Amino acid sequence: MPKWLFFIILVISYLHGFSQTKSITEIKTELEKSPNSPLYVKDVMKKKFILDTIVVTRTTHFSSLSDSLAYRGILKKVYGPYTMQGKKFLVQILARMPNTFYKISQIFIDTSVFRYRMADSLGKSILSKLKNNQDNFERLAEAYSMGGESITKGDLGWVARGSIIPAIDRQLAKSKKGDVFMLWSGSGLHIIKLTDGPKQDNGAALMMRIFL
């Protein structure tokens, strides 16, 4: 066979193979149309995939991309591609599960800085001011809270049941909007205000990562 003919055959073969490769846009479209995405990835696309359950702990200030997608992502929609540790992948939201959320504010007094007696006295003084309408929670949080709440004036946003200190979780379940309570944890004193809720919201999502 002449070398030039072999070269033409080789080029045609390469172009044919290239034309069979699906673009990322086509892959995303086919996944969104598929009634069973994992089976489609396994049997048709023959690609590696991983199923992840992502728990949403807050509805704002997400700690990672997966948290944000779990809360804001549209069911069946495919997002990406993303790259992590040199691996390229797409993400599809397969299902979503609800959870109960509370909107809370906090004043935190760190017992690694203050002794127990001092923290207890300060906490009772803050509660007294609130009870007697001598000040409001936002100003007191800005003045006294030793966590990041001093910047947000106490606001922690909407937090999920099960994602916070168990004692706070239990007390919130018994509280109503506007209630303020004080309790201790291993790290210090927490003065909590239930500013809104409870409400049902997106609490977790089943997501599939498809590696390209």
Instruction: Report pLDDT digits (tens) over 97-107.
Output: 999 999 999 99
- 10 or 201, greater pLDDT: 201
| Confidence (pLDDT) at 1 | 54
Q: Is the pLDDT of residue 8 over 50?
A: no
Indicate whether 129 and 69 sit together in one domain: no
Structure confidence by residue, pLDDT tens digits, 119-159: 999 999 999 999 999 999 999 999 999 988 889 999 999 99
| Confidence (pLDDT) at 61 | 85
Q: Scan for tokens 């089943």, then name that residue.
A: 206
Tokens matching residue 30: 């086919």
Helix or strand (DSSP H, E) at 153: none
Q: Is 55 left (phi over 0), alpha (psi -120 to 50) or beta?
A: beta
Average pLDDT over residues 65-86: 94
Q: Is the pLDDT of residue 4 over 80?
A: no
Q: What's the DSSP call for residue 62?
A: -
Q: Is the pLDDT of residue 73 over 50?
A: yes
Indicate whether 207 and 184 sit together in one domain: no
For residue 134, being part of any structural domain is answered with yes
Structure confidence by residue, pLDDT tens digits, 38-62: 999 999 999 999 999 999 999 988 8
Question: In CATH, what number is assigned to the domain containing residue 176?
Answer: 3.10.50.40
Tokens matching residue 205: 């999502």
The closest of 212, 198, 202 to 53, measured between CA atoms, is 202
Burial classification of residue 170, based on how many CB atoms lie within 10 Å of its CB (0-12 exposed, 13-18 middle, 19 or more buried): exposed
Quick one: pLDDT band at residue 2, thresholds 50, 70, 90? low
Average pLDDT of the chain? Answer: 89
For residue 150, being part of any structural domain is answered with yes
Antiparallel, parallel or unpaired: β 78-84 and 49-55: unpaired
Indicate whether 119 and 63 sit together in one domain: no
Count of domains in the chain? 2
Supply the range of the domain harboring residue 74.
22-98+202-211
Indicate whether 114 and 188 sit together in one domain: yes
Position 176, amino acid: K
Rounded to an integer, what distance in angstroms lies between the CA atom of residue 89 and that of residue 208? 10
Portion of the chain with pLDDT greater than 70, in percent: 90
